[in-house]
Chain A
Amino acid sequence: MRSRLYPVFKYTVIALWACFVAGPFLWAMTTSFKNANAVQGGPTYVPWAQYEPTLTGWRNIFGGAGGVDVIEPFVNSAVVTVAASAISLALGSLAAYALSRYRFKLGFIKNGDIVFFFVSQRIMPPVVLVIPFFYLLQWGGLLDTIAGLVIVTVALLLPIAVWVMVDFFNGIPREIDEMAMLDGCPPFRTFVRAILPNSLPGLTVAAMFCAVFGWNDFFFAFRLTFTEVQTLPQAVVALNSSIPPWWTLSAAALFGVAPLVLLALWVERLLSKGNLSGAVR
């Protein structure tokens, strides 16, 4: 049925899309090894043949003159992402376990409505939240601090954690809980000893989503931290001025997205095991 031309068609399409996907990264890679001369001369792509590569951009992001220090923003981003993800996963999986195992009824509100209430937070445009957050953090003395940014990032991540984990817990057989309970295990210990160890795939997926959203947040960090705490997206955007220090910008950008690209490699492995298919349902 399939013509002999089908493979040609298939690989052509895949290759074209691959070029489109990889293009910006290759462009950033070549640009990061340029200097003012190489950039002002117009677009070039092949180092040595078309331009002389230099390390100016990469030196600039590691404290070189006229550059920007990315180490501190990197550490800030990492601390905020890890802390907010951990809190969201802890609170989220507890809540998700309750929603998956017990039946709640508050008037007309049932389990599904509570899950929806969590998830509906994702509909909220950040701008609705950011002004109240500003005053909440100011009132708590947490404006422009890591702790403050962690708290607001939890607001972004908690719904994702609940959403992924409810689905996942629903797929874990109840017999596991019942056996632990029969052995005299109180509910909390059942959760920690019997359920969590069986939930690593789900927790991994939830952690992955949390890490991506936490690391990529710009808006909250931009409005709620200023001089004391700068995250990596802030540092990169600050470089994005009209006179192009493109080499520094590109180096900083590649440095900033590298952790998530490494995460993508690992996520693909999860995907091929089929673990994600349960989590997106």
Chain B
Amino acid sequence: MDGLRRHKSMFLLPGLLTLFLIIIFPLLFTIRVSFSGWNVSNPQLDFIGGANYTAMLHDGRFWASITRLVLLAGGTVLIQYLIGFGMALLVWREVRGRRFWRVLFLVPMMTTPVVMAAIWQTIFHESLGPANDLLEVLGLTGIPWLTESGPALVALMTVEVWQWTPFMFLLLLAGLLSLPKEPFMAAAIDGAGTWRTFRKVTFPLMAPVSVAAVVIRLIEASKLSDSVYVLTSGGPGSSTETPGYYLYIQGLRDQQTGYSGAMSLTYLVLMIVTLTVVAALLTRAFKLKGDS
């Protein structure tokens, strides 16, 4: 028994130690940094108390980026869920060329976000890109996609939806494929129509997968910064900045290291709280058990 006990730790320890080194150490270091006045001219780990946190409370640009992220992430994940579920339902049952559609629909998720954002930047070019060309074909006027704040946010959301709807599609389709057959037979015997079957059978059965997919996507979307960097550089002005991007500007480009540490931790705590609440609300709304 003693040998077994030693073994079980031997299995777990390498991974756990690695995780500690690469998670706990950086986290502790960031906490320490956040209480220092470390910046580009003074790279010191001196202790200055909560000054960084006080400054942060008055930093409108930081809070604006957080509000923007909530809208961006919430909006895009909702759109991704609706389209992803819709497409999964369409491809689920009899469809010609099913494999072809599935491969095609999965591809964006597999491609490098920054690389595809660079392609999207050329697509949204005001005079040389196809986005405005398409609008003109439809008889509409072109839009200055990346140089005005509203359109820039729409462009950013378009890229996110393009890139990550496949993730929803993949998870929801896998969920649909693993559903039991009996409830559908029962519904058919009861004479339930398409919509009724969906509302009473498919959707409830899919709730656990749905919640998992939405929460995972929210976690990933909350880190949104790479495509902002490539597509708009946070501009025009700071109108498309997300916290991830603003933290990059402050901490790495301008080397306000202490200040960015304080904001990073605040952002992390806000995110954990928000995601926990969202996950709990979704779980309760769909009356799921705690394990999903």
Contact = CB atoms under 8 A, between A and B. Distances in A.
Given A24-B119, A131-B257, A124 B110 contact: no
A27 B225 contact: no
B154 interface: no
Contacts of A172: none
A68 interface: no
A20 interface: yes
A57 interface: no
B257 A42 contact: no
Interface residues of B, number: 93
A63 interface: no
A277 B177 contact: yes
B29 A240 contact: no
Interface of A: 1-2, 10-11, 13-14, 17-18, 20-25, 27-28, 31, 39-40, 42-43, 45, 91-92, 94-95, 97-99, 101-102, 104, 114, 117-118, 121-133, 135-136, 151-152, 154-155, 158-159, 162, 186-188, 191, 212, 215-216, 218-219, 223, 232-233, 236-237, 239-240, 244, 246, 249-250, 252-253, 256-257, 260-261, 263-265, 267-268, 271-272, 274, 276-278, 280-281
A277 B175 contact: yes
B219 interface: yes
Interface in B15-58: 15-16, 18-19, 22-23, 25-27, 29-30, 33
Interface string B155-194: 0000000100010001101110110000000000000011
B270 to A, nearest CB: 11
Contacts of B219: 122-123
Nearest to B30: A128
The 9 closest A-B pairs by CB, nearest first: A95-B15, A98-B11, A132-B26, A155-B22, A102-B8, A260-B110, A132-B29, A277-B178, A98-B12
Contacts of A261: 107, 110-111
Nearest to B89: A10
- State the main secondary structure of chain B at its contact with A: helix
A131 B261 contact: yes
B49 to A, nearest CB: 20
Nearest to B158: A20
B23 A40 contact: no
B162 A21 contact: yes
A219 B177 contact: no
Contact of B111 (A2, A27, A114, A257): A257
Interface of B: 3-4, 7-12, 14-16, 18-19, 22-23, 25-27, 29-30, 33, 83, 86-87, 90-91, 95-96, 99, 101-116, 118-123, 125, 127-130, 133, 162, 166, 170-171, 173-175, 177-178, 193-194, 209, 212, 219-220, 222-223, 225-226, 230, 243-244, 247-248, 251-252, 257, 260-261, 264-265, 267-268, 271-272, 275
5 contacts: A128-B264, A151-B22, A212-B110, A216-B111, A260-B112
